[in-house]
Structure 1
Amino acid sequence: MPELPAASTPARTSIDRRKFFGVTAGAAAASALLSPATARADAQGSGRRRRRPVRFGVNYVPSKNWWFSWSDWDRRSITADLDDIASLGMDHIRIMLIWSELQPNAAYARGEQLDRLEELLDLATDRHLDVEVTVFNGAVSGVLFVPPYLINNGNGKIRNVLTDPVAVEREQWLLGQIAERIGRHRAFMGFDLSNEIHWFAKPLGMTATQAEGDAWHTALFDTCEKVAPGKIHVSGIDHWPWQNNDYWTRDGLATAGTMTANHTWAGWTQVIQRYGSLSTSSTHYSEFFVELIKAFHTDLKRQVWIEETGVSTVWMDAAHIPAWTERSIRAMADCTGLFGITWWDSHDLNPKLSGYVDLEYDLGLFTNDRELKPIGKTIRKLIAEYDARPPSPPQRATALVLPDDMIPLADFTRFFDPFMKLVDEGTRPAVVLQSRTTDTAYLTARGIDHLISPDR
């Protein structure tokens, strides 16, 4: 593929998918100090307007035009959507840029789309909502968006966005362009690099070793900190890399960026279908992932952000959804080190838009015509409750030991099931890597005094 042309900064205009689970070894850590990035996250995490131990937000999906809204802007509809979200007591939203529309050329970021991004942050500010901006979205809701400049017009080959030096440099450039516009905006929380970029890479044949994936994170997060210092910068991934030793190391995921973001979908991973709607395994699935991720943290004050979770009537009877939602949130809120819960999503997908899988249409807290659904009422109630009486997570003195050499599993019997058995027995376990079980300083720092083998 020929080299892309050298870019100069344009003038500023008004300027199957998912299976489940597995783990590998992590480096031992005797103890951890509060890192500068974590200190900044703690400051941000307290909330610009609310001091919440756990932040509550939602992934915003525009009710009228989905994220085609960037090209078909309707301020009135978007304003009404944000009013809906604010009425629930949410303190933040996560939004999706559409990469192919924002950066159709290597050296060009569309000014009108930057204008609309800034306007959206203005509207969010008026409603006391902070905004996490997700940037390199080549895949959203199962739809692929490939920036034209990445495609070779001779052979159709697409540059690897994780390993191609030119592609990575253009990604860094785009982060700078966005930060120039909104980096100092009072509603700007920070950058999420991408919405599950592995689900963009996989269908397009983009491979990367774990070392290359970790290097991509390092390069992009270094840029984020350079162009937007002191913000919350994360990588929005789901269970897949943790499960499959794919694209990134787990140690890398546990140290890259400001905190560890994860998307926990008990339906996509077949947990709901396998164990039942209101089973312990289903309702404590996100709790399990919070504790699993914390086992790989070396900074013991580093936080976990459940940046997506949700449920569809495709996976369970509508009558069970409020109870499942309440139990799932309460289980997550019982974890120390939880930054926030950001539900997927705000509004049901407009039924006039075709081609999405069925479950994408009913994931909202509001219907497409803005009627609050029972799940939305449940979350609104819990937010009000936690504002009045903040969650007080229990001490997890018992830890389930995760063998460092545990391979990815097609079933759940070796570790997930033992975790849930402990929960059923009345124990809320932590997770500790086998390689750290003799590190008394580490165990003491985490408040762990009892270790249990998953093979007990």
Structure 2
Amino acid sequence: MPELPSASADDQPSMARRRFLGATAGAAAISTLLNPATASAATATRTGVPAPADRGRHRPVRFGVNYVPSENWWFSWSDWKRASIAADLDDIASLGMDHIRIMLLWPELQPNATYVRGEQLDRLEELLDLADDRHLDVQVTVLNGAVSGVLFVPPHLIDNGNGKIRNVLTDPVAIEREQWVLGRIAERIGRHRRFMGFDLSNEIHWFAIPLGMTATQAQGDAWHTALFDTCEKVAPGRIHVSGIDHWPWQNNAYWTRHGLATAGTMTANHTWAGWTQVIQRYGSLSTASTHYSEFFIELIKAFHTDLDRKVWIEETGVSTVWMNAADIPSWTERSIRSMADCDHLFGITWWDSHDLNPKLSGYVDLEYDLGLFTNDRKIKPIGRTIRKVIAEFDAHPPAPRVRTTALVLPDDMIPAADYGGFFEPFMKLVAAGTRPAVVLRSRSTDTAYLAARGIERLVTLDQV
């Protein structure tokens, strides 16, 4: 595909974010966290840039990183090194980040159905205190049975007679215990000022699939409803999301796309242009590669019924396994700028903070070099690039575009599973200078809806 030319006149950035349809319950919950009573204009510097303590809560687009401890990975929960973790957080804060996403390891946290390890909660609270010292908010990811390609199965889920594992998405007993552990964590940290909220699980489908856990889409949506109801009950007013990647959207599996677009406080997604083979197929600095996350943001927004609802790119990243090291800074900057061009973007949370410790074996090669810092805490070119962009955005906050042109998506089409079907037409428009929104065909005649989104022109697939 050709490189992206200048944007057309009808798609220039708007001067400010639009607000549609008034306040909603989800927006109210976010407001409670992002605008706490302790925040005030007095904390701003003379330049108008908020002080570090509340900087993130004033940003149009928040910036964070998935924290990977440099010394012991997430085995750190059992091999706690406070000084090492504090040094890692110093690195993260030095980039201008305002939040981190962290991973609990489910079997270490909850080895028994009715027991949570006290020292795990102690260390979780200590980590939030360390983050507070560095003005970093913390999103806590809880039911992690799969992290970085490794499976972690809580013993209480395993039948010791036949080895079968309870289905964490459909088994009533398993779900009740999941709700219970969320409550126990909230008792400890739910009121901590650096607690952003719960991420239910890290891509729980990658735990379910290899272990043979099946679920209908109705069951998957019901699981989200049950768990998010619990989150709001035990930790009201926080940001509660479900951390999934492209796979359910592209395979129409485990959850409905409408369910994903309405469950929780906002829609989180993990956009990996390498895992989906986009980088390899189209080229590292191609339009398709550098605008991949933008595509997913606009795709997700087509399924939102609350037009104030936000999208959180909760993971994205790049490895030298997928592209030459020399291309990574440029790819990173272009990707961030294309994401920031989308309205209703909550934030970008990079994967990850530090390269995986090479002393740990058994991970796929690319897991070892995804960091913004080396394993011995030296900043990498990608880290310097992100630091530069954050400083620029703080001085001159990006204004997202009003996307007056929208590409129409047939409701029954599974987008991006067939790249030629929808993904490539989207990218052809981008390459030609039009940055499109996405509209479902079933809503393409709803004039009030189109007007609310600022959409003036519809393009069908046969017109691209």
Q: For each residue in 1:282-320, what CA deviation from the matched residue of structure 2 results, as whole angstroms up to 9, or x when unmatched?
A: 000000000000000000000000000000000000000
| Structure 2 unaligned residues grouped into runs of 5+ | 1-19, 40-53
Q: Does the 8 Å CA contact 1:264/1:309 hold for their aligned counterparts?
A: yes
Give the deviation of 1:40 after TM superposition: 2.3
Does 1:39 find its partner at 2:28? yes
Report the secondary structure of 2:139's partner residue: strand
Mapped partners of 1:78, 1:240: distance in 2: 32
Residue in 2 that maps onto 1:180? 187
Report 1:151-162 matches (<5 A).
Answer: 151-162=158-169
Does 1:76 find its partner at 2:65? no
Give the deviation of 1:404 after TM superposition: 1.1
Residue in 1 that maps onto 2:330? 323
Inter-CA distance 373–91: structure 2 relative to 1 (3 Å threshold): same
- Return 411-420 or 93-102, whichever deviates more: 411-420
Q: Does the 8 Å CA contact 1:400/1:453 hold for their aligned counterparts?
A: yes
| Structure 1 unaligned residues grouped into runs of 5+ | 1-30
Q: Does the 8 Å CA contact 1:349/1:361 hold for their aligned counterparts?
A: yes
Residue in 2 that maps onto 1:213? 220
Give the deviation of 1:330 after TM superposition: 0.1
Does 1:150 find its partner at 2:150? no
Does 1:404 find its partner at 2:404? no
Q: Which amino acid aligns with 1:281?
A: A
Residue in 2 that maps onto 1:66? 73
Q: For each residue in 1:184-221, what CA deviation from the matched residue of structure 2 results, as whole angstroms up to 9, or x when unmatched?
A: 00100000000000000000000000000000000000
Residue in 1 that maps onto 2:303? 296
Give the deviation of 1:32 after TM superposition: 4.2
Give the deviation of 1:454 after TM superposition: 1.6
Match of 1:95 among 88, 92, 102: 102
Report 1:344-355 matches (<5 A).
Answer: 344-355=351-362
Match of 2:118 among 107, 111, 120: 111
RMSD of equivalent CA atoms: 1.1
Mapped partners of 1:169, 1:257: distance in 2: 18
Give the deviation of 1:33 after TM superposition: 4.1
Q: Does the 8 Å CA contact 1:235/1:261 hold for their aligned counterparts?
A: yes
Residue in 2 that maps onto 1:271? 278
Mapped partners of 1:175, 1:211: distance in 2: 23
Report the secondary structure of 2:458's partner residue: strand
Mapped partners of 1:280, 1:193: distance in 2: 33
Match of 2:293 among 276, 281, 286: 286
Q: Does the 8 Å CA contact 1:196/1:236 hold for their aligned counterparts?
A: yes
Mapped partners of 1:388, 1:42: distance in 2: 23
Report 1:404-423 matches (<5 A).
Answer: 404-407=411-414, 410-423=417-430
Q: Does the 8 Å CA contact 1:45/1:339 hold for their aligned counterparts?
A: no
Residue in 2 that maps onto 1:375? 382
Does 1:389 find its partner at 2:396? yes
Mapped partners of 1:408, 1:439: distance in 2: 22
Does 1:140 find its partner at 2:147? yes
* TM-score normalised over the length of structure 1: 0.92
Count of residues in Structure 1 that have an aligned counterpart in Structure 2? 426
Mapped partners of 1:34, 1:138: distance in 2: 36
* TM-score normalised over the length of structure 2: 0.91
Report the secondary structure of 1:413's partner residue: helix
Q: For each residue in 1:420-452, what CA deviation from the matched residue of structure 2 results, as whole angstroms up to 9, or x when unmatched?
A: 111111111000000001100000000001000
Report the secondary structure of 1:41's partner residue: helix
- Return 238-247 or 31-40, whichever deviates more: 31-40
Does 1:196 find its partner at 2:203? yes
Mapped partners of 1:366, 1:225: distance in 2: 35
Q: Which amino acid aligns with 2:396?
A: R
Q: Does the 8 Å CA contact 1:365/1:375 hold for their aligned counterparts?
A: yes
Inter-CA distance 408–448: structure 2 relative to 1 (3 Å threshold): closer
- Return 398-407 or 157-166, whichever deviates more: 398-407
Mapped partners of 1:443, 1:288: distance in 2: 19
Q: Does the 8 Å CA contact 2:28/2:237 hold for their aligned counterparts?
A: no
Q: Which amino acid aligns with 2:23?
A: L
Inter-CA distance 415–45: structure 2 relative to 1 (3 Å threshold): farther
Mapped partners of 2:124, 2:414: distance in 1: 43
Mapped partners of 1:293, 1:368: distance in 2: 34
Q: Does the 8 Å CA contact 1:32/1:298 hold for their aligned counterparts?
A: no
Mapped partners of 2:33, 2:380: distance in 1: 30
Report the secondary structure of 2:75's partner residue: helix
Report the secondary structure of 2:200's partner residue: strand
Mapped partners of 2:445, 2:415: distance in 1: 25
Q: Which amino acid aligns with 2:74?
A: W
Q: For each residue in 1:149-185, what CA deviation from the matched residue of structure 2 results, as whole angstroms up to 9, or x when unmatched?
A: 0000110000000000000000000000000000000
Fraction of identical pairs, as percent: 82
Q: Which amino acid aligns with 1:39?
A: A
Q: Does the 8 Å CA contact 2:415/2:422 hold for their aligned counterparts?
A: no
Q: Does the 8 Å CA contact 1:221/1:256 hold for their aligned counterparts?
A: yes
Inter-CA distance 407–265: structure 2 relative to 1 (3 Å threshold): closer
Report the secondary structure of 1:415's partner residue: helix
Q: Does the 8 Å CA contact 1:38/1:259 hold for their aligned counterparts?
A: no
Q: Does the 8 Å CA contact 2:450/2:456 hold for their aligned counterparts?
A: yes
- Return 443-452 or 399-408, whichever deviates more: 399-408
Mapped partners of 1:360, 1:439: distance in 2: 45
Q: For each residue in 1:394-442, what CA deviation from the matched residue of structure 2 results, as whole angstroms up to 9, or x when unmatched?
A: 2100000001121466430111001111111111100000000110000
Does 1:86 find its partner at 2:75? no
Q: Does the 8 Å CA contact 1:46/1:52 hold for their aligned counterparts?
A: no
